[in-house]
Amino acid sequence: MRRLPANFLLGAVLVSIVVGIAALSLIWTPHDPQTMSISTKFAPPSATHWLGTDQLGRDVVAQLMAAARNSMTVALVAVLLGGSIGVALGLLASALGGWVEDGVMRLADLGFAFPALLFAIMLAAVFGPSLTNAVLAISFINIPIFARVTRASANQIWTRDYVAAARAAGRGRFAISRDHILPNIAAAIIVQATIEFAVAILAEAALSYLGLGAQPPASSWGRMLSEAQTLMYLAPQLAIYPGLCIVTAVLGFGLLGDGLRDITDPRLVRAR
Amino acid sequence: MAYFLFRRTLGFVLTLLAVSVVVFAVMNVLPGDPALTILGMDASDDALAALREQLGLNEPLATRYFSWVWNALQGDFGLSHSFRVPVSELIAERLPMTISLAIAGMLVTLVLALSLGITAAAQHRRGGDWGVMFLSQLGIAVPAFWLSILLVMLFAVKLRWLPPGGFAGWSDPVAALRSLILPTVALALVQSAVLARVTRSSALEVMRQDFVRTARASGLSQRRVLWRHVLPNALVPIVTIVGMQFAALVTGTIVIENVFYLPGLGRLIFQSIANRDLPTVQALVMLFAAIVVTANFVVDLLYVVIDPRLKART
Amino acid sequence: MIELESLSAHFGNAAALRDANLQIRRGDRLGIVGESGSGKTMLALCLMGMAPDSAHLTGRLSIDGRDMATATERDWRQMRSRRVAMVFQEPMAALNPLRRVGDTVMEPMLLHENLSRAEARARALSLFEEVGILNPEQRLRQFPHEMSGGQRQRVLIALALACNPALLIADEPTTALDANVALRITDLLQRLARERDMALVFISHDLAAVARATQEIVVMYGGDMVERGPTAEVLATPQHPYTKGLLGARPDPAEAGRDANGKRRRLPTIPGSVPPLHGLPQGCRFAGRCPVELAHCADQRPVFTPTEPGRGAACHLLSETGHD
């Protein structure tokens, strides 16, 4: 067993903390995140309110926990949705080749012209801002990313001898894609998914900050920051915690992704 | 070379066309009835009919698409529903703000990222290298809008050195520049995190090559070797990332304008969403996407300028 | 002019260079031969002050009477190009691909001698002529990828000569070149050294090239200098078993270092191969591959034994016959 790289370990610890807190929020938060209490607004940290309360007297810790859950859910759905479509397209392109491959790759190029924010802006203009639209926009930008990674890795596997053997045995392209190609590129896809998870958390936070994502009363780190920004003179501490949460989560998944890549791609480790 | 230029230009034009189809489709087909979207559920039938007539919604989709593209090519993006002026006027008014911010951000990003990346490479596996790698790892994880809030809290609220946001116009250039400092820094710090890493790894790759030893053997200083010999050779991957980062720069500019209340296109687009001003949103999204596509096209051409070897091959 | 006294370079416990002694005077033409890993490139890098940071250097190195032990990087920069210059092995890779070769050659002149661009250009032109580049005017404006390997090597030689160095080190200058191009580059280096009264250190495993270019020769193996003397004599009557092996591996003097297809052979056929640095025996480095090995060879280091003035080898066989 090789020693695990430091970025993997640190990433795993950070991710465990964030995911653990998000999971915990499903069954327990110190207070109800939405309960307002004007009499205790802007309360300093205390035994009852560990990080104090906000402008409406809501408990900050409870809100941060609920926001962690929302953030993880958004990232998970967006990466799964966009990722599975992208992987399917990439496998298809690699299996069929020819004009299908060209077409899929041109479509992927097209996808890169639209940052998630632009797509979210279009959806918000048409349907009104909502968390669903934010999820759709983030999923959408994941499609070309996964399509590219999948096709590039799949094309390498198609040249292997055991694939040639399977073809000689008369197996169809789709059966081979499922039984031979997909298992062999799973590592590359998981690495990409971990990194895109970090990107999705960042995107959700930005969209919610701009009002294109989570709508009141749903808790979101991004929205907490946009509210805190208007209260900078009154309660600057409120602008600190949600940001730290975002950084922890994004850093965690980013490091975990880098670490996984180092573990699964020995070529890169040697190049260091 | 001519063939290369032709192919790239053709690809560029086709991509732009495809982008315009996507934008048009999302903005016109998805909502079903744009007039209803703009005016809301409780609008009167007369008002809806009048707006449909004004937006040309009674024409077939294809006709509307082609007239939109044709007019856009001549600089006519239609009439802003909420501001009651041509969209092109709105854009012309706010474009300088956005361009200044983007260019300033890009320049600071380049200076910062190249210096940090080269320093890290020169100090490979020593203090400076670890420091730069740590900062860039952190920079990738920090959202631009949070960094902006922190900068405002420190430099505007606490130290009172700089304004917390807003922009009073160019009539007072000193005040205008002061308002741009924090937005530029916020934009650049986040952008340069990725670029510094790419610069470092690309420079490390180049430093292993023989000609770097030749340059040292000619008695050139470390500094000159790094900046005049290593950096130009490390540029190709750097330029690729800069091109790809244009998408992030556009996004970043939109976000930063909203954080600092700067009257640019990024603010305009959000005002338009709030006003359900579909023609303006459509024009702006198309404009931003076109900027991203153009940036990637320019990068493709830049490769040839950077590396004379490519001229022979293409 | 340049003196080495028991100069050694260690990476951790492994010695890449052990107790190298050398004196180079103006006009000397010295060949250094040995297989890859024999320490010859390490020696050249030490002379340039360009040994890797991870190498621990001991012993004395002086240039123009100055002890370079205390020299800073800045001091070395003053030496490079003006006192000692170097031509590297791979002309394909040793030139900055994004610069016109003229700019590359002019750069050290502009930096070290404060020449104007016009003066530097004039000197670059005459250097190009001196190293036998045809159409120098036009060549100055070309990029490396527009030139052949031989032309690039000539450009690198011109670059090395840019500031009139007193010593030119050529590290395997012909290895990457075609046979007849290699021959012409060898002759060029030899002629330049004579005409300019410049010292030349010619590092190669190509014995034929070394024989053509040099008056004296040092044979290296595993970081040790195992034999030295006038080139012609050493090649005619080698005293160290390793030198004999090197020579014996030549099918024909004219075809030295090349196989039947005219291709260059990297390692002459001595049984076995050079062990990795840390796997070398502590005594005689050649123990284990030596055909006439004695019992104590692997543990005891042979001392350098002069056999006649300016000639000698480090081998227990010699020192023992010397004692008897």
Domain boundaries, chain C: 2-221
- In chain B, the residue whose alpha carbon lies closest to the alpha carbon of A234 is B157
Encode chain A (272 residues) as per-residue pLDDT tens digits. Answer: 467 788 889 999 999 999 999 888 888 778 777 777 777 777 777 777 777 777 776 888 888 888 999 999 999 999 999 999 999 999 999 998 888 888 888 888 888 778 888 888 888 888 888 999 999 999 998 999 999 999 989 988 888 888 888 888 888 888 888 888 898 899 899 999 999 999 999 999 999 999 888 888 888 999 989 888 888 887 788 888 999 999 999 999 999 998 888 888 755 443 33
Question: B interface mutation test: which of A122, A141, A240 has the most B CBs within 10 A?
Answer: A122
Alpha carbon distances (Å) from C258 to B95, C90, C232: 69, 18, 20
A touches C, CB cut-off 8 Å, minimum 3 pairs? no
Q: How far is C278 from chain B (nearest CA, A)?
A: 24
- Using alpha carbons only, give the angle A242, B255, A66 rounded to the nearest 5 degrees: 25
Which residues in chain B come in under a pLDDT of 50? Answer: 314
B276 Cα to chain A: minimum distance (Å): 6
Q: For residue C235, which of C222, C259, C217, C252 has the smallest C-alpha distance?
A: C217
Answer yes or no: CATH 3.40.50.300 is held by domain B87-313.
no
Contact B27 A251 (CB under 8 A): no
Nearest to B258 among A205, A210, A243 (CB): A210
Q: Does B120 touch chain A (CB under 8 A)?
A: no
CATH number for the segment(s) C2-221: 3.40.50.300
Per-residue model confidence as pLDDT tens for chain C (324 residues) = 888 888 888 888 788 888 888 899 988 999 999 887 788 888 988 989 888 888 888 889 988 888 888 888 888 888 898 899 999 888 888 899 889 999 999 999 998 888 999 999 999 999 999 998 989 999 999 999 889 888 999 999 999 999 999 999 999 888 888 888 889 999 999 999 999 999 999 998 888 889 989 999 999 988 888 999 999 999 888 888 888 888 876 544 444 444 445 444 444 456 666 777 777 788 888 887 888 788 888 888 888 888 888 888 888 887 765 443
B 244-273 residues with CB < 8 A to C: none
Contact A228 B289 (CB under 8 A): no
Q: Which residues in chain B are closer than 8 Å to C86, comparing Cβ atoms?
A: 217
Interface test with B, best of C76, C90, C98, C168 (most B CBs within 10 A): C98
Which partners does chain C have (≥3 C-beta pairs < 8 Å)? B
Whole-structure pTM value: 0.81
Closest-CA residue of chain B to C44: B217
Q: Coil, helix or strand for C27?
A: coil
Interior/surface letters B283-310, b for 16+ CB within 10 angstroms, e for the rest: bbbbbbbbbbbbbbbebbebbbeebbee
A6 touches chain B (CB under 8 A): no
- Which residue among B140, B146, B285 sits closest to A121, beta carbon to beta carbon? B285
Q: Answer whether B211 sits within 8 Å of C108, measured CB to CB.
A: no
Which of B26, B142, B272 has the CB atom closest to A247's CB atom?
B142
Kindly state the DSSP code that residue C80 receives in the 8-state scheme: B
Give the nearest chain C residue to B229 (CA atoms). C96
Contact A38, A56 (CB under 8 A): yes
CATH number for region A6-16+54-271: 1.10.3720.10
Sheet with C304-308, side-by-side order of all strands? C84-87, C167-171, C199-204, C29-33, C216-221, C224-230, C311-314, C304-308
So what's the pLDDT on residue C270? 67
CA-to-CA distance for C236 and A243, rounded, in angstroms?
79
* pLDDT at residue C250 in the model: 54
- DSSP secondary structure code for residue B86 in this structure: B
B288–A contact, CB cutoff 8 A: yes
In whole angstroms, what is the distance from residue C31 CA to residue C216 CA?
6
With beta carbons less than 8 A apart as the criterion, state whether A247 and B142 touch.
yes
d(CA A205, CA A224): 9
Question: Domain spans of chain B?
Answer: 2-73, 87-313
Contact flag A118-B142 (C-beta cutoff 8 Å): no
Test C77 with B220 for CB contact under 8 angstroms: yes
> In this structure, are residues C111 and C105 in contact, taking their beta carbons and an 8 Å threshold?
no
Q: Which of A106, A109, A117, A204 has the most B C-beta neighbours within 10 Å, making it the best mutation to test the interface with B?
A: A117
Query: B233 to chain C: which residues are within 8 Å by CB?
Result: 96-98
In a mutagenesis test of the B interface, which of C96, C111, C152 is the best target, namely the one with the most B β-carbons within 10 Å? C96
Chain A residues with CB inside 8 Å of B143's CB? 202, 205-206, 209, 222, 243, 246-247, 250
Contact between C108 and B219 using a beta-carbon 8 Å cutoff: yes
Interface of B with C in 194-223 (CB under 8 A): 209-211, 213-222
- Which chain B residues are Cβ-neighbours of C152 within 8 angstroms? none
The answer to whether the CB of C297 falls within 8 A of the CB of C283 is yes
Q: Does A234 touch chain B (CB under 8 A)?
A: no
Q: Which of A236, A260, A254, A249 is nearest to A42 (CA)?
A: A236
Mutate to test the interface with A, among B38, B135, B142, B146 (most CBs of A within 10 A): B146
Output the pLDDT for position C263. 47
Interface of C with B (CB under 8 A): 48, 50, 73, 77-82, 85-86, 88-90, 93-99, 107-108, 111-112, 143, 145-146, 156, 159-160, 162-163
| Closest residue, chain B, to A243 (C-alpha) | B146
A residues 30-49 lying closer than 8 A (beta carbon) to B: none
- Of the candidates B210, B214, B221, the beta carbon closest to that of C77 is on B221
Give the span between the Cα atoms of B264 and B97, in whole angstroms.
5
Helices (H), chain B: 2-28, 34-39, 45-55, 61-73, 87-122, 127-141, 144-151, 173-207, 210-217, 222-224, 231-259, 265-274, 278-306, 308-313
Q: What is the DSSP letter of B230?
A: I
Partner-chain contact A117 B23, CB within 8 Å: no
Extract the runs of DSSP E, i.e. beta strands, from A123-224: none
